[in-house]
Structure 1
């Protein structure tokens, strides 16, 4: 049976959302064993419940406790908590036997098989990631000026990262990240993404966002860009990850986004699965 390593980085408030993401992965990627690594500052209140939930999905939960760390100079807010930086140092905490891992934000819904992405060969790159630059070309230009990385063609979203752990262990140094945060902290807008793109953007293998990091807010834009090809039917058949970027989230009571009903359906099934144990 194939084994896929998954990585998340969340605080104590994302229990239900993480369950929904994992349940959607299980439904759409059967016949696979998952190791679920979760970067966290300290042990969660729901640690035991989550361990049991994972077991019902044929997944093994493996917490990675960060503890006190050196992110004291990093900009932190309600929208951008300290946990967003942990993915950049995941290789320092993962077991030695992990050579590849797929990082996902917990506001992502899986609607097709993730195996093709995980099987992607990226041995000469640190990461594989998607850019949303075709949706916001002006933003890409602004980011190049702001971050002064003119040689990098794309500004990559950090919500879906296929990580070449063997390579990041050798190339990514904690001190480089800390030094960048300290030097640029007043200009960081999307902090973890700014670091990722500034320091490592030239070593990222591009993957199509319409398949692997579909911005759920922009469905009409995707449809226009594709001359009508990437419509709802296409998305259901081809898109792997719906990413609910931005402030408004589908689990909020009054959210009326295009994919909110689909998300809440998976959330309901995930909750029901956890209560039948």
Structure 2
């Protein structure tokens, strides 16, 4: 993999913080970005605490296939930091989420701006204007969180008031200003504070630290798409606004699950077919907690749709996991 250093303002640096479980989704995100922006100069950065030789080979192949630099950065696991999966409804989130806090310092000698993306995102539009976005002297350009009201209310109960609340899955960061304001260390202090006991860990912490120092941009840059809500309503088609650039699949339900009946699975497979992961079976590598969450959701959904056999199969998985957790 490359070790590319450039401060060319026409080049867009894009960074991810992942663990081994999210390497394939991240790779598919990269393919979707390149396919929708063939003329854009791109440099990718992958931050991870450990990586298998097979995954390293796939990233090398990804770089060769698309002639775009993919820089690998190995980082510490931060063992002393609170596990975000311990929060209610956060079982699908790992400590890799904290890696985004390390990215600006690590890239200070590469570029002055970086786009951070979560790995559960697919690009569906033109992002070529981003390298020239004026963020008006702020530390980052951000997008409102879909659940901003309830998340702000949760922080108010802890004595913390905010002007607004953003989603940390898409961040366009001014690296020198981030470092000057010591955002990383201040956010880690918030996460570690037992009195605050932040439910949404680093996202809450970044909102507290960057309150009033971010530029809110159009929601098409981070269209937060909750598959759980869509499937509960029986909606299986991709219904996104025409100006969407990034579709962010928030929540525990992801497009790359083999059982996913939503059209998002076909969108994911479209880009996977162009990648080094082409032909690989979709993922059902659930954690124990995810098995419980997914099986409960699936048996209820199947019964609602009168798909009795599928519902019974998922109900059996749910009871098995419930018995183990009990």
Both structures adopt the same fold (TM-score exceeding 0.5): yes
Q: Runs of 5+ in structure 1 lacking a partner?
A: 222-230
Query: For the Cα contact (< 8 Å) 1:36–1:61, is it kept in 2?
Result: yes
Please give the alpha-carbon distance, in whole angstroms, between the structure 2 residues aligned to 1:16 and 1:137.
Answer: 29
Q: Within the alignment, does 1:239 sit opposite 2:244 as a pair?
A: yes
Query: For the Cα contact (< 8 Å) 1:6–1:36, is it kept in 2?
Result: yes
Residues 68 and 272 (structure 1), Cα distance of their counterparts in 2 relative to 1, 3 Å cut? closer
Query: For the Cα contact (< 8 Å) 1:53–1:274, is it kept in 2?
Result: no
Please give the alpha-carbon distance, in whole angstroms, between the structure 1 residues aligned to 2:72 and 2:195.
Answer: 29
Residues 174 and 213 (structure 1), Cα distance of their counterparts in 2 relative to 1, 3 Å cut? closer
Query: For the Cα contact (< 8 Å) 1:7–1:36, is it kept in 2?
Result: yes
Query: For the Cα contact (< 8 Å) 1:143–1:155, is it kept in 2?
Result: no
- The 5 A counterparts of 1:91-170 are 91-133=104-146, 136=147, 138-150=149-161, 152-170=162-180
Q: Runs of 5+ in structure 2 lacking a partner?
A: 1-7, 86-90, 231-237, 281-326
Please give the alpha-carbon distance, in whole angstroms, between the structure 1 residues aligned to 2:128 and 2:279.
Answer: 24
Instruction: Indicate the structure whose relative CO is greater, using CA pairs within 8 Å and at least 6 residues apart.
Output: 1
After TM superposition, the score normalised by the length of structure 1 is 0.83
Whose radius of gyration is greater, 1 or 2?
2
Equivalent residue for 1:3, pick from 1, 6, 11: 11
- Alpha-carbon RMSD: 2.8
Tell me the residue number matched to 2:60.
51
Structure 1 residue 68: deviation in Å? 5.2
Please give the alpha-carbon distance, in whole angstroms, between the structure 2 residues aligned to 1:96 and 1:141.
Answer: 35
Tell me the residue number matched to 1:87.
100
Structure 1 residue 184: deviation in Å? 4.1
Query: For the Cα contact (< 8 Å) 2:61–2:276, is it kept in 1?
Result: no
Deviations 1:221-253 (A, max 9, x none): 9xxxxxxxxx94x72x31000011000101001
Match of 2:253, SS? coil
- The 5 A counterparts of 1:168-179 are 168-179=178-189
Residues 100 and 175 (structure 1), Cα distance of their counterparts in 2 relative to 1, 3 Å cut? closer
